[in-house]
Amino acid sequence: METALTRLVGVRHPLVQTGMGWVSGPRLVSATANAGALGILASATMTLDQLRDAVREVKSRTDAPFGVNLRADAGDAGDRVRIIVDEGVRVASFALAPSRELIAELKAAGVVVIPSAGARRHAEKVAAWGADAVIVQGGEGGGHTGEVATTVLLPQVVDAVDIPVVAAGGFHDGRGLVAALAYGAAGVAMGTRFLLTSDSTVPDAVKARYLAATVKDITVTTAVDGLPHRMLRSDLVDSLERSGRTRALVQAVRRAAVLRRTSGLSWPRMVRDGLAMKHGRDLTWSQVLLTANTPMLLKSSMVDGRTDLGVMASGQVAGVIEDLPSCAELVERVMAQAHETLAALSAPALRDPRGPVAS
């Protein structure tokens, strides 16, 4: 299925596997790329050396195009961009809007720039700065998210920009792909659906928690780090939401102590990271500590399998996902269903304005 997205990045199918911290590693990304979709490596939780090694591992597993996701506000963003350029990575994606200068540097090196946005004005800004495409996530998406549903946000952005738009938030099958194309998107991006594959390195016990969840078990909370964050409801989330500020601070200190030992970060470094993220936001001290530790809270679940210590970012689609196919099986299934749906929509009975004719 050829779209503006497939032509832009050189993949066979208009599907994107998003860059999820601790989840989108070389195994998942290469499996996605080999299946004909665009896999995106999550680099925010990697050191520079780990990023270079991860990129090279993906390249050893596949000849297909793939991307790297990075934080535009990271202090070493320039160094990460140089790795992307030096290693010949096809696509750079961003969780936050990159600067005009960063976009220009990447484009000059032949890298396709695809930032993510959760609002029309953000999409308009990166389009004006020269981004090649934009991923637009509606409120149904996992992790940090907005309040506007994909079905409302997507057509707004499609009408506002003249670059390819990739829809994210609430997609998991071929019907959703067709719906996004009908709105004018050039493809769909999926996180939770790719997390729940056999190629994902997330521990089986954690995947089982996702598969057991209903749509009512997936919530948006600000209790973790002060921003709306969509995740599976858990005892940790319930505890944070019930806690007053004093109790929340005590719990945050206790959990931060555990996570500090796991991560090797010093207390001053953790506080500095939290204060940097606090800038311009009304956060409590407990949220400052948790904000600094959000990557480690995710690692506790996604890597260590400790759902009692960590959080499980999740899109609402987890409530309707029931299996763990390989990436190849998933992509084949999504595309087959998309073609079947398109064929059904173009059937003669539907094309005839009079409707089906009785025999």
CA distance 228 to 176: 24
Which residues are CB-contacts of 256 (< 8 A; sequence separation ≥ 6)? 270, 289, 290, 292, 293
Token pair listed for 307: 């759902």
Q: What is the mean pLDDT of the chain?
A: 90
Q: Max Cα separation, the chain?
A: 79
CA distance 188 to 17: 9
Evaluate whether 268 touches 275 at the Cβ level (below 8 Å): no
Token pair listed for 333: 């299934």
Q: Which residues pair with 168 in a beta bridge?
A: 137, 189
Report how far Cα 239 is from the mean position of its chain's Cα atoms.
26
Q: What mean pLDDT comes out for the span 257-274?
A: 62
CA distance 65 to 10: 7
Q: What mean pLDDT comes out for the span 148-172?
A: 98
CA distance 32 to 272: 36
Q: If pLDDT is split at 50, 70 and 90, which confidence band does 265 have?
A: low
CA distance 242 to 289: 18
In 10 A of CB 221, how many CB atoms?
17
Structure confidence by residue, pLDDT tens digits, 273-327: 666 655 556 666 666 666 667 888 899 999 999 998 889 999 999 999 999 999 9
Structure confidence by residue, pLDDT tens digits, 8-50: 999 999 999 999 999 999 999 999 999 999 999 999 889 999 9
Domains, the chain, in order of start with CATH, read 4-202+321-345 (3.20.20.70), 214-302 (no CATH)
Q: Write down the pTM of the prediction.
A: 0.90
Q: How far apart are the first and last CA of the chain?
A: 35
CA distance 218 to 213: 7
Evaluate whether 167 touches 187 at the Cβ level (below 8 Å): yes
Poorest-pLDDT segment among 127-136, 165-174, 346-355? 346-355
How far from 114 is each of 8, 54, 68, 141, 227, CA to CA, in Å? Answer: 10, 20, 10, 17, 23
Structure confidence by residue, pLDDT tens digits, 166-220: 999 999 999 999 999 999 999 999 999 999 999 999 999 999 999 999 999 999 9
pLDDT at 55: 98
